[in-house]
Structure 1
Amino acid sequence: MERVLLAVELVPVGRVVSYGEVAELVGTSARRVGAVLKLHGGAVPWWRVTNAQGELPAPLLAEAKTHWSAEGIGIAASGRGCRRAQHRADLTALGAAYDRVAF
């Protein structure tokens, strides 16, 4: 749990990653990342972690859009997520930052 939350905290403002990318970074599954965020993600920038299409569950979308707008993350034309390809975090830099502070 702590590794997932740490990785999410390290995603830069204005950038997004997928559940799978976080999972690969910390050595777990994408489903586990989603479960951790659902149960414990309120204190981290959960809106920066989406599915591979840049979408989030419908109940989270309105709040996520507010955060995305404040961070300059574009909303997808469909309205169901963000423009993930344009705002994807640099995974190499994220991995290096994680390695510096990981347990």
Structure 2
Amino acid sequence: MDDVRVERVLRAVECIPCGSVATYGDIGDVTGESARVIGRVLALWGSNVPWWRVCNSKGEIPGHSAEALELWLADKLPVKAQGSLKLVDCRVNVAELKDQVATVFDGLEGNS
């Protein structure tokens, strides 16, 4: 995968504010990538960004539930009894995220 695509995903994730989450699809919408690509980028290169603020449409991060739960609680995110997020209460406004991300994409190679 090309470095610019990876960097766009990582920068978009960095823009998710504390107390909010986005789905893989939300980040895909913002970056022009598929949800699967978002998951792959986070799995391979996401350790230095707030990866726990990106979840699936069920409010889960499969394979990382225990670690994510700890970080969700630290971020004061609303968690259901079964350990998934209450997305309706914490999902980021995608339009606002797009606006914010546009400014951090400036200067990236391949952006025009």
1:73 aligns with 2:77: yes
Count of matched residue positions in the alignment of Structure 1 and Structure 2: 101
| Percent of paired sites with the same residue | 41
**Structure 1 residue 78 displacement after superposition:** 2.3
- Determine helix, strand or coil for the equivalent of 1:31: helix
* Aligned position for 1:94: 97
1:19 aligns with 2:24: yes
Runs (4+) of structure 1 exceeding 4 A deviation are: none
Q: Which is worse superposed, 40-49 or 84-93?
A: 84-93
Which structure has the larger Rg over C-alpha atoms?
A: 2
Quote the RMSD (CA, aligned, Å).
Answer: 0.9
Q: Give per-residue Cα distances to partners, 1:46-103, cap 9 Å, x unaligned.
A: 0000001111113x11111111111110112322x21111001111211110011113
Task: Report what 1:47 is aligned to.
Answer: 52
- Counterpart CA distance in 2 for 1:4 and 1:76 is 27
TM-score normalized with structure 1 length: 0.93
Paired amino acid for 1:54: G
Structure 1 residue matching 2:25: 3-state secondary structure: helix
What is the DSSP-based 3-state SS (H/G/I as helix, E as strand, rest coil) of the residue aligned with 1:95? helix
- DSSP 3-state at the match of 1:63: helix
What runs of 5+ residues in structure 1 fail to find an aligned partner? none
Match of 1:83 in 2: 86
- What is the identity, as a one-letter code, of the residue corresponding to 2:81? A
